[in-house]
């Protein structure tokens, strides 16, 4: 396949993804998004007379002096958010044992969340990262802007195919001047998670969406195979029919998942797992409902 054909195929995929994401947002997603995420501040709205129970700190003393009775400032919630999709496109993101790779699933999630944000008047930006940050697109409005983001997620080809959550967090902290909402979309197969995520959470509202594939959780019994680490390139010959090996593999992946989950819990990060073998929307719905209930 030539480079031109590859680009055309990617663009067809982006257009198909746009149609799907718009439909999902229109049918069921927009309201839950709106109720789950608030603006990052308050805008002055008007003055009104002081009422018993009002906070003294909201009294406007200049107006009070002119009117000879206490008046307080009224505020309305600032609705607009800056929403950042931080998407992992490392070597492991290209793996998929079903109809989608983890990268394609990440692009789909980013599209649904992005169109939800745009529909509610928010700005959307993108950070693509792997072993190093690859591209930062500042938050902006408009569907063309979002479609460019989705295209970049699908087409990015990192030279460093590892996963550096640390470098991604550092770029976000440095680049985002006001408090923002960050969706970190990754399999979180990184050696350093705790401190970087802790720093990010202290500056920005953060939601971690862990993209997984069932084969990575349970090694299928298919005989002798050569496993290739997509990030390091290391090859290992194994006999998947070996029960002891299968058990050890399952225990290892379970322990890794628990370690990642403990970091999220420690920093109070909302999270959910999204798998390449199932519809991601139900899990996203549950996540947003939990946030919405807490807000109420």
Whether 125 and 203 map to the same domain: the answer is yes
Q: 64 with 185, same domain?
A: no
User: What are the angstrom distances between the C-alpha of 16 and each of 12, 20, 73?
Assistant: 6, 6, 48
Q: Clarify whether residues 153 and 225 are in a common domain.
A: yes
Residue 30 has a pLDDT of: 58
Question: Token digits for 49?
Answer: 């007379």
Domain count, the chain: 2
Q: Do residues 98 and 230 both lie within one domain?
A: yes
Enter the tokens of residue 101.
């790779």
Taking alpha carbons only, the member of 171, 48, 158 closest to residue 94 is 158
Check whether residue 115 and residue 219 sit in a common domain.
Answer: yes
Look at the block and give the residue holding tokens 């990754």.
186
Asked whether residue 152 falls in the same domain as residue 259, the answer is yes
State the DSSP string of 203-258. HSEEEEEEEE-HHHHS----SEEEEE-TTT--EEEEETT-HHHHHHHHHHHHHHHH
* Same domain, residue pair 109 and 134: yes
Bridge partners of 271? 208
**Separation between Cα atoms, residue 211 and residue 216, nearest integer Å:** 11
Q: Are residues 26 and 153 in the same domain?
A: yes
Query: How far apart, in Å, do the first and last CA atoms of the chain sit?
Result: 52
- Determine the longest span between alpha carbons in the chain, in angstroms: 87
The reply to whether 113 and 52 lie within a common domain is: no
Q: What is the DSSP letter of 56?
A: G
CATH of the domain at 32: 3.40.50.410
Q: Are residues 130 and 57 in the same domain?
A: no
Tokens 């995520």 found at: 197
11 and 69 together in one domain: no
Provide the pLDDT for residue 87.
98
| Domain with 61 in it | 42-78
pLDDT in tens, the chain (296 residues): 665 676 677 677 777 777 777 777 776 665 566 556 655 444 556 777 887 777 777 788 888 888 888 888 776 555 568 999 999 999 999 998 887 899 999 998 999 899 888 888 889 999 999 999 999 999 999 999 999 999 999 989 999 989 999 999 999 999 998 889 999 999 999 889 999 999 999 999 999 999 999 988 888 888 888 877 777 778 888 888 888 888 888 898 889 999 999 999 999 999 999 999 988 888 888 887 787 676 65
Nearest-Å Rg of the Cα atoms of the chain is 23
Same domain assignment for residues 206 and 137: yes
Residue-level pLDDT at 132: 95
For residue 14, the model assigns a pLDDT of 75
List 140's β-bridge partners, or say none: 124
């Amino acid at each position: 396949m030539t480079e031109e054909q590859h680009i055309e195929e990617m663009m067809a995929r982006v257009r198909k993804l746009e149609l799907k994401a718009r439909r999902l947002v229109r049918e069921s997603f927009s309201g839950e998004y709106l109720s789950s995420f608030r603006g990052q501040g308050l805008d002055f709205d008007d003055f009104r007379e002081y009422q018993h129970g009002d906070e003294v700190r909201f009294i406007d003393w200049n107006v009070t002096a002119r009117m000879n009775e206490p008046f307080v400032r009224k505020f309305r919630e600032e609705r607009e958010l800056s929403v950042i999709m931080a998407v992992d496109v490392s070597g492991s993101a290209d793996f998929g044992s079903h109809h989608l790779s983890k990268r394609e699933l990440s692009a789909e999630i980013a599209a649904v969340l992005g169109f939800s944000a745009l529909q509610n008047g928010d700005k959307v930006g993108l950070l693509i990262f792997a072993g190093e940050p690859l591209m930062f697109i500042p938050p902006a409005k408009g569907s063309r802007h979002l479609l460019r983001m989705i295209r970049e997620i699908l087409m990015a080809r990192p030279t460093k195919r590892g996963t550096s959550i640390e470098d991604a967090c550092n770029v976000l902290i440095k680049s985002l001047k006001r408090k923002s909402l960050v969706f970190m979309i990754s399999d979180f197969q990184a050696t350093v998670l705790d401190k970087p995520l802790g720093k990010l959470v202290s500056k920005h509202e953060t939601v971690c969406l862990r993209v997984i594939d069932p084969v990575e959780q349970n090694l299928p019994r298919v005989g002798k195979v050569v496993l290739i680490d997509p990030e390091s390139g290391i090859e290992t010959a194994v006999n998947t029919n070996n029960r002891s090996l299968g058990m050890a593999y399952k225990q290892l992946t379970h322990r890794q998942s628990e370690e990642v989950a403990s970091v999220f819990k420690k920093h109070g990060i909302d999270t959910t797992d999204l798998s390449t073998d199932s519809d991601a929307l139900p899990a996203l719905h549950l996540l947003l409902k939990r946030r919405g209930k807490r807000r109420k």
